[in-house]
């Protein structure tokens, strides 16, 4: 008689994992061999796992990763300059995020920079960190719209709180004056407190020219480069199959 009210109270407290585990225990005749404390521990463990999975799902949804990528799926057989040991050391417990380091994934088009970047961000989400993926052009559009409607400060505050900000296709085109100013604000807000991951077809030595204004460029690069890890990729585009035709 007490079971249904108890279940309802657990549901009301949103302990759905515990309810699920309790229902499983009721169907398992061997569970009586366990002590009360052992059975309770199983219920708590299941509830904990459910909460952790829900949090991970929420982080991945909010990250808006362009590619459903994970480190385990990275192709090391194709010669692209990727070193498994370097990536393993970098991503162990997402140490680079804990240290507030930055990562640059560099190389020509089609070699898989976006995949590697999304895999690093996905691993960070799995390790409990928040992430957000934006293509550089889309990010600057968002900033311009926010400036126009008066919500720029709120957007900059939101970006400053993201623990891993992934900006894909960085420095593809010269920055305008508002873009330089906004990006400097982003870098300043995140400096030594958050991690930024940039992918680019251009080497870092060309970024100063793309940013434009020498003073602003110095400020941006000073906040990005000195604590950054560089993953330099090379090779032919992986978007082509063996016949040299683009894959679908």
Residue 113 Ramachandran class (φ > 0 left, ψ -120 to 50 alpha, else beta) = alpha
pLDDT (tens digit, 9 = 90+) per residue, 168-204?
Answer: 999 999 999 999 999 999 999 999 999 999 999 999 9
Q: What is the CATH number of domain 64-232?
A: 3.40.50.300
> Rounded to two decimals, what is the model's pTM?
0.82
Domain ranges of the chain: 3-62, 64-232
Report how far residue 143's alpha carbon sits from residue 148's, in angstroms, rounded to the nearest whole number. Answer: 9
Higher-scoring residue by pLDDT: 118, 48: 118
DSSP 151: -
pLDDT (tens digit, 9 = 90+) per residue, 55-93?
Answer: 899 999 999 999 999 999 999 988 898 999 989 999 999
């Amino acid at each position: 008689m007490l079971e249904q009210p108890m279940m309802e109270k657990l549901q009301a407290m949103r302990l759905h994992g515990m309810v699920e585990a309790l229902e499983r225990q009721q169907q398992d005749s061997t569970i009586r061999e366990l002590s009360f404390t052992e059975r309770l521990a199983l219920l708590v463990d299941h509830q904990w796992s459910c909460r952790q999975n829900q949090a991970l799902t929420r982080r991945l949804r909010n990250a808006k990763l362009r590619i459903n990528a994970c480190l385990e799926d990275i192709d090391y057989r194709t010669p692209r300059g990727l070193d498994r040991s370097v990536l393993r050391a970098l991503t162990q417990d997402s140490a680079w995020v804990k240290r507030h380091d930055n990562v640059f994934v560099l190389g020509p088009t089609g070699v898989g920079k976006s995949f590697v970047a999304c895999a690093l961000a996905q691993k960070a989400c799995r390790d409990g960190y928040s992430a957000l993926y934006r293509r550089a052009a889309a990010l600057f559009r968002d900033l311009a719209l926010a400036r126009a409607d008066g919500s720029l400060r709120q957007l900059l505050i939101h970006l400053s709180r993201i623990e891993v900000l992934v900006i894909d296709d960085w420095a593809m085109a010269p920055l305008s004056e508002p873009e330089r100013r906004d990006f400097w604000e982003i870098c300043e807000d995140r400096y030594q407190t958050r991690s930024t991951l940039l992918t680019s077809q251009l080497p870092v030595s060309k970024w100063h020219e793309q940013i434009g204004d020498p003073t602003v460029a110095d400020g941006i690069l000073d906040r990005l480069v000195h604590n950054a890890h560089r993953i330099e990729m090379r090779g032919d585009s992986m978007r082509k199959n063996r016949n040299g035709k683009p894959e679908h």
